[in-house]
Amino acid sequence: MKTYGIICEYNPFHNGHIYQIEETKKNTGADHIVAVMSGNFVQRGEPALIDKFKRAEIAVKNGVDLVIELPVQYSLANAELFARCGVMLLGALRCVEGISFGSECGSVEDLQKCADAVREVSTPENIKPLLEQGVSYPEAVQQLVSYKYGPLVGDLLNSPNNILAVEYLKSLKILGLDKIKPYTVKRSGAEHDGEEHSENIASGSYIRRLIDDGEDFSAFVPKETLEAVNAYDDNDLLCWFENFERVILYRLRTMSPPELAATPDVGQGLENRIFQAARVATSLDDLLEKIKVPRYPMARIKRILFNALLGIRLDDLKVPPMYGRILALNDRGTDILKLAGSLPEDKLSIPFSSSLKDFMNNNNNNNKNLMRSIGMTTVAGDIYTLGSRNIRPSGMDFTSRIFFDKIEGFTSELPADLKTNAHMGPADQVQKEIEEERKRLAAAAAKENNPAEEAVIDESDIEEIVDEAVSGDEE
């Protein structure tokens, strides 16, 4: 068994994603694929076209074996934190041997050189003078890398997939996940956000434009995506950015500048600009035009709007992922969970389950950060249902059915309701087994006069690593 991970958005799932999965399996020998996928809101600062449960189902029907949700506070974060927490979730499974990602350059070696360069130059003393000149954070980093390591290395940061690839590589090194080997698939057929396409592959943004314009997009997506988009469109359930116009304006008009300043991605007095713009803007386009400044990319501004709408605060990003929410899986996905549950715990270990109630019921220590994270997830789901023309009921995170795909020849070890975690079994039983194992290890260590190491998350260490990513302003 060889498991590779992919950090993704699948908005929507298209043929380029199938190509990545197939290339990963063919060139790495991976037979199991786990995807850490953004939930109902994505990193470009927009709602996902189709809700997370359906997108996860489509992914499992097209080559992914297990889909874990990237919590909303990280999916709406800067590129560094998006990548950092996605890699953390892959590392938390403890059986993932590699990570696959797309890139424009197609060379892990070149990307690693760039990642090392970015880590070296991205110090406050280097970055601050450029920021004070009005240069954006990404531009500042690129200038510094180009100056010290040459334009060939710096130019890699001109391409969005390369930027994310660099962040994945940085995260692997910072988190000490040397066992996870990087593999990159050279982007084929279409540039990120580009209008071009080649044969049956096009970018997600191009496909979304076709869908929005009512044009034929069937050549670029698998049948499951085509059927889902058509069904959602027929029922007015596709989710679009502009449909949040009134609720965003309402939310911003009820926030004070200090509240806005506590929102992720806000800095250098931008809270005052947003505060004033929200009071006179008469549409979302008007609002964005009034907020826009050269040093802030539009995606960052849109992320700010949704972070404000969902009530996400800067402090929320200083806490690492505390659980892994299963959105969809097949029998091979149960293999991943079973193996992960059989391994000794380490500092990244967290529970995995398809049910948020499992995490709530097993919160024996009354961890406020865990409950806060669950609350943000459910609020995001409830607000997401307002983004389609046909408004849906709230509570999707507790009422949506988790997709489970049976594979011929496999015998699933998961209960029918899929309410389990990585250790397999009910939460109270798992907790009991963990405690018994810890006692056994402690007794054995005492016998050898060698104190046992606690196999639990060292939250201070992990939070420091996450906090480092929060302090950056990368796009």
- pLDDT at position 407 is 84
Q: 382-393: per-residue pLDDT in tens?
A: 999 999 999 999
Q: What percent of the chain has pLDDT over 70?
A: 84
Task: Name the more confident of 132 and 91.
Answer: 91
- pLDDT at position 417 is 44
Q: What are the DSSP calls for 156-198, one per residue?
A: GGGSHHHHHHHHHHHHHHHTT-TTSEEEEEE--SS-TT-S-EE
Adjacent-strand bridge partners of 184 = 101
- pLDDT at position 186 is 92
- Cα separation, 248 vs 283, in Å, equals 10
- pLDDT at position 236 is 95
Structure tokens at 310: 């969902």
Q: 247-274: per-residue pLDDT in tens?
A: 999 999 999 999 999 999 998 889 999 9
Across 104-131, average pLDDT: 91
Task: Point out the least confidently predicted range of 50-64, 77-91, 344-358, 449-463.
Answer: 449-463
* Domains of the chain with CATH codes: 1-104+159-234+322-475 (3.40.50.620), 241-317 (no CATH)
- Cα separation, 29 vs 11, in Å, equals 27
Q: 420-443: per-residue pLDDT in tens?
A: 433 334 445 545 655 665 576 667
pLDDT band with cut points at 50, 70 and 90 for residue 462: low
Helix (H, G, I), strand (E, B) or coil at 23: helix
Task: Name the more confident of 230 and 128.
Answer: 230
Across 95-104, average pLDDT: 96
Q: 202-242: per-residue pLDDT in tens?
A: 999 999 999 999 999 999 999 999 999 999 999 999 999 99
What is the pTM assigned to this prediction? 0.87
